[in-house]
């Protein structure tokens, strides 16, 4: 089907552009690691304190790294006019936007998972925290990408959109943050994390069904 | 002397010189590292406190020294290239970055391997350890900048400015153990008075350090030749080289 | 898909009492025009008279304040992506990715437009004279070469309606000649061309109409 | 003198552009407050822990906010060609760059100070911590702006420069971070903070003398 | 400042064996040219031949790989900002801030150039036909209006050397005529103009020379 092929083309192009800037690809990751290592600097090497704030820092930083990388979803495409071409493509815009979201997740969301696990080790979190960390990240990062795409579409072409975007998006990310950190905390205390995981899954399903449409609508509005 | 230097600063002259020097440095590196490792693994005594694990020192300390040394070389070369427009210096800076990053990584890895038996943990957020990590980030930043700028001349010049700014961190790493009381060893070898370490350990350590330096020199020379070939691919001497001329 | 008529029917573009207001000023009002297949419409007018704005409205990228644009008798707002499928729009911006090579840019367009065809791609590159630079990142191309790349989209695959905003910008004489030939072929093959330009002679071969703004 | 007038023109223009995007002006600030308040969310409102991590969080977030706002120092000017005009102006580039740095500090550095004080109250830091917080911020934020300008000049026009810039700059900010947090910590423990303040002042003087030149050189390199 | 000669001496621009290499290809080599006051040099050549690159080198924004550019006999690399003071450069980009109004943009240029003069500003706006839109943010201006704003810099204050990259882009006929007149006046007042354009006739009045690339 030609729609599927167009989506694949968008996905491939975005991945290619991402890989072509190898530096850019690694950057959110390195940024993530740097920011996360700023805290021990500031807090001092007091292990119990570090273990307490560990999950929060790891999650807040993941959230920041995700937020920072949002700017590039549409910004470049807007500047060089390819976004207009995308809108004028012969395929439903929702699908194309979905492909862009997927590319963003693969480039910016997935790499956060191993990085977060590595940091968990550095922060000396107990082994019981690793699995909840992994599962919440795998559920939470796609929500970040999906929500982020919609808001990035809404702010595309506005000057200073980077920070404006961060401003709009952070409140939306907070539920994911709270439940994820709660899950990790529960696991460290030996409690069940099923409730949190259900909630995160529900958020993911919601984001999956709503956000691409919101993003497509936002793009049409911004360029109209 | 200056004239000589100036002569070898011309890429094609340097190319020939580097070809001639590489085997010497390579050979020296192989010999020194072999002797040093033998000394480290068999002749040096185990530490009365640390036991056999002390032998990591023979890799860790030279690697840590090199990580700092290479950064200074990188920054100095970069500034030379920037101010006097010396292409060979640019090539040296670019060639050094991945090597320095590797030394830093090696120091971090051996350090944390050593830390496990010594401090009971792979990693602590102690000033020296963290500042070494920052050094790694500085190298990575330099490499990322080189990767982001396509034009090699411009990349080298931009990198020089970055490296010069980053130079501030070197004294911070070096003196961090004195400024903050940390877990990490204070200066034992690099003290101005007598080193607080026994000669049977000191000698292999110094040999290893020399070996690391020779290894760095040899690899840097090879990498510089690649850099020069790439950045000078339009000039007459490279074309000649490519067409089989000497 | 549900109205196959619009892709098979003879192309026809109408403006019905199109009006556009920007800020406090009326850019144009009561524009009417009926373009049949094979016709060329040149939008003319001094700087700031609203040519680019009109083209964006025709492409469906902006909405008129009152009035409507019809394609084969259907309001383009209702046609949506179906209308996108019948047009090529080249604006002031080239719409190319500077970090992809010239060839990759065109290949992406093809996939987006739904017909992958390596031969068509090569011949398009050839036509606009970019074969030699096809492997270069677009960032390295000169202003004119980028414009050529943008125009290469037009010949990658067929679309009956071409909307072009100052297509000749930065082109050298050879490029202009080439472009004029492309346009002539397109109208000869019963396409419609709407273009905004300050050129005196655009060398259309079919019926040529002019719309003067302000 | 015409050089002074040109500097004033640059300063006025940048401030005007900043004020014209009032949203953009408020953004780093709001971003700062949001991120800093994410932590209590994640850590839980356990007051002793909050008071321990308070100074670090406040400083790390100030650093992030400063980093995020760097991108815009030269980016827009590069895109629209005004940077070339600046370089071709009839005045020493160092001075013009200095004016841009000053504008950046006024727009993005100074607002952090009251925000940080407000956050300190929110985190229930003791009153003894406020004065060191204030003085370190006043010494530290200009260093951020100065260093940031130089690195922003280095990365201007590179794709993905936002994250690359963050990557380059964070290691350089760390010394400021360490000394500032140490000062606040010392003050909370009743110790003298003179040493830290001297060190920060030395860094500031160093940055003042070196960075504008580095920035001017970097701009010439990037546009050459 | 220490060589007052260069601002008072008769303008003279020389290229000496200028060479430029981009990537693997030689754009131009051994360019020599000696321009005296009152002369116009038109750089011509097909797309991608290096016209823009040459103009950037002449402006001191890029360095030639070998060779040198001289102003009144001095190497421009050594003159630095002093050389900037004698030239106006208008590139492919307009160099205006889209979030300032037209008037604010010009006022900023004046301050940067060191001569604030409200009258000169108003008359420059008048000349390029932007008086009515002077209070509009430049973002709202059309492509041609923005180009006019960029060209208004030329008449804000005197500089003997004009370096212009396709100055006529997006201009309507009236704009072109206006610009040609500006250029004629400048050369009549013993200035030098170097411009890259694909136009056949640029209507210079003084001695006109051509440099063909590739
Ligand atoms: C990941 C962990 C570690 C890192 C990143 C690290 C880093 C460094 C660095 C950067 C230096 C060179 C300092 C300078 O010359 O100014 C150094 C030297 C040294 N390190 Fe480590 N280190 C680590 C772990 C350890 C451990 C566990 C020990 C042993 C207890 C140790 C013992 C030493 C010694 C003896 C020196 C030589 C000190 C001198 O300069 O005299 N290090 N290390
Ligand atoms: N890094 C590079 N590698 C290879 N080629 C390059 C590189 N950078 C620039 N070029 C080539 O240099 C030329 C740049 O030319 P320039 O922009 O000066 O052309 P121009 O004469 O102004 O053309 P136009 O009329 O289209 O504006 C182009 O042909 C481009 O392909
Ligand atoms: N928000 C606004 N407020 C006031 N005027 C506006 C606004 N937005 C656009 N305009 C005006 O609308 C016109 C836009 O015209 P457009 O870009 O379509 O012109 P054009 O005919 O393409 O001109 P050019 O030949 O210069 O490309 C300009 O005159 C501009 O000043
Ligand atoms: Mg227009
Ligand atoms: Mg050009």
**Given this model, what pLDDT does residue E2 score?**
44
**Given this model, what pLDDT does residue E57 score?**
93
The DSSP symbol for C195 reads E
CB pairs under 8 A between A and C: 78
Minimal CA–CA distance to E108: which of E97, E119, E92, E98?
E97
**Chain A residues with CB inside 8 Å of C60's CB?**
88
**Given this model, what pLDDT does residue B162 score?**
93
- Three-state DSSP at B148 gives helix
Chain D within 8 Å of E59 (Cβ-Cβ)? yes
Query: In chain E, whose CA is at the least distance from the CA of D83?
Result: E95
Chain C within 8 Å of E54 (Cβ-Cβ)? no
Query: In chain B, whose CA is at the least distance from the CA of D167?
Result: B141
* Cα D166 to ligand 1 centre (Å): 28
Q: Could you report the per-residue pLDDT of B59-76, keeping only the tens digit for each? A: 999 999 999 999 999 999
Cα dihedral B137, B141, B142, B146 in deg (nearest 10): 150
HEC string of chain E? CCCCHHHHCCCEEEEEEEEEEECCEEEEEEEEEEEECCCEEEEECCCCCCHHHHHHHHCCCCCCCEEEEEECCEEHHHHCHHHHCCEEEECCCCCCCCCCEHHHHHHHHHHHHCCCCHHHHHHHHHHCCCCCCCCCEHHHCCHHHHHHHHHHHHHHCCCCEEEEECCCCCCCHHHHHHHHHHHHHHHHCCCEEEEECCCCCCCCCCCEEEEECC
Interface test with E, best of D1, D15, D88 (most E CBs within 10 A): D88
Q: Which of B122, B137, B144 sits opposite A23 (nearest CB)?
A: B144
* Cα B28 to ligand 1 centre (Å): 25
* Mean pLDDT, residues A96-122: 88
**Given this model, what pLDDT does residue E12 score?**
92
Shortest CA gap E211–chain B (Å): 25
pTM equals 0.82
* Mean pLDDT, residues B209-224: 94
**Which CA distances in Å does A159 have to D35, D97, D222?**
22, 21, 23
**Chain D residues with CB inside 8 Å of B140's CB?**
167
CB pairs under 8 A between A and D: 124
Shortest CA gap E172–chain C (Å): 6
Rounded to whole angstroms, how far apart are CA atoms C134 and A212?
A: 34
* Cα D159 to ligand 2 centre (Å): 19
Which one is predicted more confidently, A224 or B11? B11
* Mean pLDDT, residues D145-172: 84
Task: Please state, for a pLDDT cut of 70, what percent of chain A lies above it.
Answer: 87
**Which CA distances in Å does C139 have to B155, C133, C142, E54?**
16, 11, 8, 17
Rounded to whole angstroms, how far apart are CA atoms E18 and D48?
A: 70
Asked if pLDDT for residue B220 goes beyond 90, the answer is yes
Identify which ligand lies nearest to the alpha carbon of C91: 4
Do C173 and E198 lie within an 8 Å CB cutoff? yes
Q: Could you report the per-residue pLDDT of E197-213, keeping only the tens digit for each? A: 888 777 767 677 888 88
Axis crossing angle, helix A22-43 with helix A47-70, rounded to the nearest 10: 150
Task: Please state, for a pLDDT cut of 70, what percent of chain D lies above it.
Answer: 90
**Given this model, what pLDDT does residue A189 score?**
81
Rounded to whole angstroms, how far apart are CA atoms C97 and A72?
A: 13
Q: Which of these ranges, B83-87, D22-26, D160-164, has the smallest mean pLDDT?
A: D22-26
Mean pLDDT of chain B: 83
Rounded to whole angstroms, how far apart are CA atoms C164 and C91?
A: 6
Q: Which of these ranges, D77-81, D156-160, E90-94, has the smallest mean pLDDT?
A: D156-160
Asked if pLDDT for residue A195 goes beyond 50, the answer is yes
* Mean pLDDT, residues C153-175: 91
Which one is predicted more confidently, A18 or A95? A95
Do A81 and C93 lie within an 8 Å CB cutoff? yes
Q: Which stretches does DSSP call E strand in chain A? A: none
Alpha carbon C137 to its chain's center: 24
* Mean pLDDT, residues E52-67: 90
- Structure tokens belonging to residue D166: 């963050």
Mean pLDDT of chain E: 87
Mean pLDDT of chain A: 81
**Given this model, what pLDDT does residue E167 score?**
92
Task: Please state, for a pLDDT cut of 70, what percent of chain C lies above it.
Answer: 94
Cβ atoms of residues C99 and D160 within 8 Å: no
- CB contact set of E157 (below 8 Å; sequence gap of 6+): E110, E113, E114, E115, E117, E120
Asked if pLDDT for residue C3 goes beyond 60, the answer is no
User: Where are chain B's structural domains?
Assistant: 54-238
Q: How confident is the model at residue D35 (pLDDT cuts 50, 70, 90)?
A: confident
Q: Which of these ranges, A191-195, B221-225, C20-24, C96-100, has the smallest mean pLDDT?
A: C96-100
**Given this model, what pLDDT does residue D42 score?**
65
Q: Which of these ranges, A25-29, A207-211, E69-73, has the smallest mean pLDDT?
A: A25-29
Q: Which of D164, D170, D224 sits opposite B154 (nearest CB)?
A: D224
Cβ atoms of residues A211 and A70 within 8 Å: no
Chain A within 8 Å of C87 (Cβ-Cβ)? yes
The DSSP symbol for B47 reads B
Rounded to whole angstroms, how far apart are CA atoms D203 and D144?
A: 10
**Given this model, what pLDDT does residue C144 score?**
93
* Mean pLDDT, residues D170-178: 84
Q: How confident is the model at residue E51 (pLDDT cuts 50, 70, 90)?
A: very high
Q: Could you report the per-residue pLDDT of B33-56, keeping only the tens digit for each? A: 998 888 878 777 776 666 677 788
Q: How confident is the model at residue D189 (pLDDT cuts 50, 70, 90)?
A: confident
Asked if pLDDT for residue C193 goes beyond 80, the answer is yes
Asked if pLDDT for residue B125 goes beyond 70, the answer is no
Asked if pLDDT for residue D61 goes beyond 90, the answer is no
Is the reported ipTM for this assembly greater than 0.85? Answer: no
| Residues in the 5 Å CB sphere of ion ligand 5 | C 142-143; E 52
* Mean pLDDT, residues A106-116: 87
- CB contact set of D86 (below 8 Å; sequence gap of 6+): D10, D77, D93, D96, E112
D2: number of Cβ within 10 Å: 14
* Mean pLDDT, residues A123-144: 87
What residues does ligand 2 touch, defined as CB less than 6 Å away? C 133, 136, 140-145, 170; E 22-23, 25, 27, 45, 47-53
Cβ atoms of residues A123 and A116 within 8 Å: no
Asked if pLDDT for residue B194 goes beyond 60, the answer is no
Q: Could you report the per-residue pLDDT of E3-45, keeping only the tens digit for each? A: 445 666 788 999 999 999 887 788 899 999 999 999 999 999 9
Q: How confident is the model at residue D104 (pLDDT cuts 50, 70, 90)?
A: very high
**Given this model, what pLDDT does residue C4 score?**
45
* Cα E145 to ligand 3 centre (Å): 8
Query: What is the residue whose two structure tokens read 């690697």?
Result: B63
Chain E within 8 Å of D13 (Cβ-Cβ)? yes
* Mean pLDDT, residues A144-152: 90
Q: What angle do CA D219, D224, E2 make, to 5 degrees?
A: 80
Q: Could you report the per-residue pLDDT of E159-169, keeping only the tens digit for each? A: 899 999 999 99
**Given this model, what pLDDT does residue B246 score?**
44
Buried b (16+ CB within 10 A) or exposed e, E20-35: bbeeeeebbeebebeb
* Mean pLDDT, residues A195-211: 92
| Top-confidence range, C60-64, C110-114, D121-125, D140-144 | D140-144
Q: Which of these ranges, B161-165, C17-21, C168-172, D31-35, has the smallest mean pLDDT?
A: D31-35
Asked if pLDDT for residue C2 goes beyond 50, the answer is no
**Given this model, what pLDDT does residue B181 score?**
56
Interface test with E, best of B82, B229, B234 (most E CBs within 10 A): B234
Instruction: State the closest ligand 1 atom to the C-alpha of B186, by its place in the atom list counted from 1.
Output: 38
| Top-confidence range, B12-21, D3-12, D29-38, E148-157 | E148-157
């Amino acid at each position: 089907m030609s729609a599927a092929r167009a989506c694949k083309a968008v996905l491939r192009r975005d991945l290619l552009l991402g890989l072509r800037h190898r530096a850019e690809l690694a950057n959110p990751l390195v940024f993530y690691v740097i920011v996360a290592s700023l805290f021990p600097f500031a807090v001092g090497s007091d292990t119990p304190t570090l273990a307490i704030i560990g999950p929060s820092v790891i999650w807040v930083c993941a959230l920041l790294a995700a937020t920072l990388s949002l700017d590039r979803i549409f910004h470049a495409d807007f500047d060089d006019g390819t976004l207009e071409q995308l809108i004028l493509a012969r395929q439903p815009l929702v699908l194309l936007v979905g492909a862009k979201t997927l590319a963003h997740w693969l480039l910016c969301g997935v790499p956060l998972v191993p990085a977060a696990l590595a940091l968990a080790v550095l922060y000396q979190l107990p082994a019981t925290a690793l699995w909840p960390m992994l599962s919440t990240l795998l559920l939470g990062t796609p929500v970040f990408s999906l929500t982020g795409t919609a808001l990035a579409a809404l702010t595309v072409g506005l000057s200073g959109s980077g920070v404006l975007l961060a401003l709009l998006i952070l409140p939306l990310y907070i539920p994911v943050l709270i439940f994820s950190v709660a899950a990790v905390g529960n696991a460290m205390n030996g409690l069940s994390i099923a409730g949190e995981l259900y909630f995160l899954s529900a958020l993911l399903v919601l984001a999956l069904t709503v956000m691409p449409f919101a993003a497509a609508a936002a793009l049409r509005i911004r360029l109209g | 002397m200056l004239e000589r230097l100036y002569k070898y600063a011309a890429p094609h002259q340097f190319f020939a010189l580097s070809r001639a020097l590489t085997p010497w440095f390579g050979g020296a590196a192989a010999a020194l590292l072999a002797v040093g490792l033998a000394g480290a693994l068999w002749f040096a005594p185990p530490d009365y406190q640390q036991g056999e694990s002390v032998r990591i020192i023979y890799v860790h300390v030279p690697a840590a020294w090199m990580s700092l040394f290479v950064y200074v070389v990188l920054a100095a070369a970069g500034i030379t290239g920037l101010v006097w427009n010396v292409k060979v210096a640019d090539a040296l800076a670019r060639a050094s970055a991945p090597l320095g990053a590797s030394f830093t990584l090696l120091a971090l890895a051996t350090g944390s391997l050593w830390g496990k038996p010594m401090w009971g943990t792979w990693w602590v957020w102690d000033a020296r350890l963290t500042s070494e990590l920052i050094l790694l980030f500085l190298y990575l930043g330099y490499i990322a900048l080189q990767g982001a700028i396509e034009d090699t001349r411009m990349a080298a010049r931009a990198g020089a400015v970055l490296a010069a700014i980053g130079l501030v961190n070197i004294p911070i790493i070096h003196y961090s153990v004195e400024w903050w009381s940390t877990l990490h060893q204070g200066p034992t070898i690099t003290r101005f008075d007598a080193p607080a370490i026994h000669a049977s350990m000191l000698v292999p350590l110094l040999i290893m350090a020399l070996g690391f330096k020779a290894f760095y020199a040899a690899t840097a020379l090879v990498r510089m030749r690649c850099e020069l070939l790439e950045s000078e691919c339009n000039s007459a001497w490279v074309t000649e080289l490519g067409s089989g001329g000497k | 898909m549900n109205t196959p008529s619009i892709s098979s029917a003879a192309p026809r573009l109408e403006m019905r009492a199109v009006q556009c207001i920007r800020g406090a000023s009326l850019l144009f009002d009561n524009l009417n025009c009926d373009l049949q297949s094979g016709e060329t419409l040149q939008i003319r007018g001094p700087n700031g008279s609203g040519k680019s704005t009109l083209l964006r409205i025709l492409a469906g990228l902006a909405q008129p304040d009152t009035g409507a644009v019809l394609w084969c008798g259907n309001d383009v707002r209702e046609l949506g992506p179906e209308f996108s499928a019948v047009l090529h729009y080249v604006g002031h911006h080239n719409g190319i990715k500077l970090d992809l090579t010239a060839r990759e840019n065109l290949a992406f367009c093809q996939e987006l437009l739904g017909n992958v065809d390596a031969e068509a791609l090569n011949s398009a590159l050839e036509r606009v004279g970019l074969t030699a630079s096809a492997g270069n990142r677009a960032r390295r191309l000169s202003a004119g070469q980028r414009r050529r790349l943008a125009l290469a989209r037009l010949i990658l695959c067929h679309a009956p309606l071409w909307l072009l905003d100052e297509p000749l910008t930065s082109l050298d004489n050879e490029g202009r000649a080439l472009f004029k030939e492309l346009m002539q072929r397109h109208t000869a093959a019963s396409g419609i061309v709407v273009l905004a330009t300050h050129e005196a002679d655009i060398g259309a071969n079919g019926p040529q109409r002019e719309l003067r703004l302000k």
